[in-house]
């Protein structure tokens, strides 16, 4: 799935613990770990993950050698920037990102009018900072 513009990346979802990008972001399912490969022709120095959730939850992010944790309060956005460590192959860079959430909710049980029955933890968005060209 193509994601973002500056720089654009391809996302490869390795499991069913995250949803494809939608209006609020990429939903990481509740109490799950999602494994996603980010692939780009650019080498990244850092990856910034922004997360939000209508419930209190902890979101942990691991990208190679970079790790970070956000303790989210309901409706309050959190951000963490981690050092990216990727692998160069076939003329592009690949980064394995693992994101975990500690809790979850079912939107149709807490949001009037919602028919969404998924068990969701947090919606994330990603921003990558390209490495300096050497």
If pLDDT is split at 50, 70 and 90, which confidence band does 134 have? low
Per-residue pLDDT tens digits for 57-112? 999 999 988 999 999 999 999 999 999 999 999 999 999 999 999 999 999 999 99
Contacts (Cβ under 8 Å, ≥6 apart) of 80 = 48, 49, 61, 68, 69, 70
What are the residue ranges spanned by the domains of the chain?
2-129
DSSP letter for 105, please: B
Confidence tier at 15 by pLDDT (50, 70, 90): very high
What's the pTM? 0.94
> Residue 33's pLDDT is what?
99
CATH ID of 2-129, from 2.60.120, 3.40.50, 2.60.40, 1.10.10: 2.60.120
């Amino acid at each position: 799935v193509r994601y973002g513009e500056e720089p654009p990346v391809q996302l490869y979802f390795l499991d069913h613990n995250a949803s494809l990008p939608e209006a609020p972001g990429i939903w990481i399912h509740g109490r799950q770990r999602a494994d996603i490969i980010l692939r780009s022709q650019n080498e990244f120095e850092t990856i910034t993950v922004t997360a939000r959730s209508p419930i209190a939850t902890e979101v942990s992010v691991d990208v190679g050698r970079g790790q970070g944790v956000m303790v989210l309060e309901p409706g309050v956005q959190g951000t963490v920037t981690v050092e990216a460590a990727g692998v160069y192959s076939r003329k592009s860079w690949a980064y394995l990102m693992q994101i975990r959430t500690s809790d979850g909710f079912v939107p149709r049980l807490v949001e009037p009018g919602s028919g969404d029955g998924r068990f969701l933890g947090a919606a994330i968005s990603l921003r990558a900072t390209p490495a300096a060209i050497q």
